[in-house]
Amino acid sequence: MRAVVFDWAGTVVDFGSRAPAMTFVETFSAQGVPVTEAEARAPMGLPKRDHIRTIGMMARVAEAWREIHGSAFDESAVDRLYEAFTPRQVMAVRANADVIAGVVSVVDALRRRGIRIGSTTGYPRIVMAAITDLVASQGFVPDAMVCADDLPVTRPTPLGMWRCLIELGVWPAWSAVKVDDTVPGLLEGRDAGAWTVGILASGNAAGLTHAEWDALDDRGRQEVRDRSSAALARARPDFTIDTVADLLPVIDEIGHRLWCGERPGG
């Protein structure tokens, strides 16, 4: 095992992936077209411009847009929303930049094993620039970071993952792990040829704050796991865990499987 590549919101920061979800809701509402939190979360993991386009093309939202604005939802609408979205997103990510419990200790343990730490994100670089110092002050500093606008095309294609591995100097891809809470982010890793680990409790599919997760009993937590597992099933992750705090035993298992000659995606 040579590298672990982490997603950001819902994986290493922002328990429940609140910042992007609520910013999409606010941005569409400001244009007179309310969207639900579920609609806002459905495309999560895509680059944010693609995410806006996907929400706007949903049948109900597209119909509401035409009714309010008198025209079809098109690329000019995407441009208008993205321009309004970005400053809102910067404020939201700064307000939700707490590193999720267990991340720093797990990353430290991985580095002691000689494992490189990478990251990819659906956020553009201007948004990430607003939080990297805040997150670094809490102890999370990846060796490489690939943002949504660093390449012409990123998630769900493997290109961002490959770019990250190139920056880390890591190959082959099956010696790396992608940890993510969304389908596009997991597909990015799977199609790159890496192992994939889906996040069930702290991510977008659960959509809970840390306090809400802590308040659940065992049955409630299992219901969240089941719901999140179903949401991530299309990406066929090799493993699932509640949060990054649970990652090290999975890394051990992957190491054993590699020693036995297994490869990801089986």
Residues annotated as catalytic are: 7, 48
pLDDT the model gives residue 16: 97
Q: Are strands 195-199 and 116-120 parallel, antiparallel or unpaired?
A: unpaired
Q: What angle do CA 160, 232, 198 make, to 5 degrees?
A: 65
Give the tens place of pLDDT for each residue, 163-220: 999 999 999 999 999 999 999 999 999 999 999 999 999 999 999 999 999 999 999 9
The pTM assigned to this predicted structure is 0.95
Q: What is the mean pLDDT of residues 159-166?
A: 99
Give the tens place of pLDDT for each residue, 77-127: 999 999 999 999 999 999 999 999 999 999 999 999 999 999 999 999 999
- Return the structure tokens found at 60: 């109900």
Mean of pLDDT over the chain: 97
C-alpha dihedral sign at 146, 149, 154, 156: positive
Statement: 18-95 belongs to CATH 1.10.150.240:
yes
pLDDT the model gives residue 205: 95
pLDDT the model gives residue 253: 98
Beta bridge partners, 146, equal 120
Contact between 86 and 126 (Cβ < 8 Å): yes
Extents of the domains making up the chain = 3-16+98-259, 18-95
pLDDT at 266 over 80: no
Contact between 169 and 118 (Cβ < 8 Å): no
Q: How far apart are CA 61 and CA 29, in angstroms?
A: 11
pLDDT at 265 over 90: no
Give the tens place of pLDDT for each residue, 56-91: 999 999 999 999 999 999 999 999 999 999 999 999
SS3 241: strand
The CATH fold assigned to 3-16+98-259 is: Rossmann fold (3.40.50)
Q: Given pLDDT bands bounded at 50, 70 and 90, which one contains residue 29?
A: very high
pLDDT at 262 over 90: yes
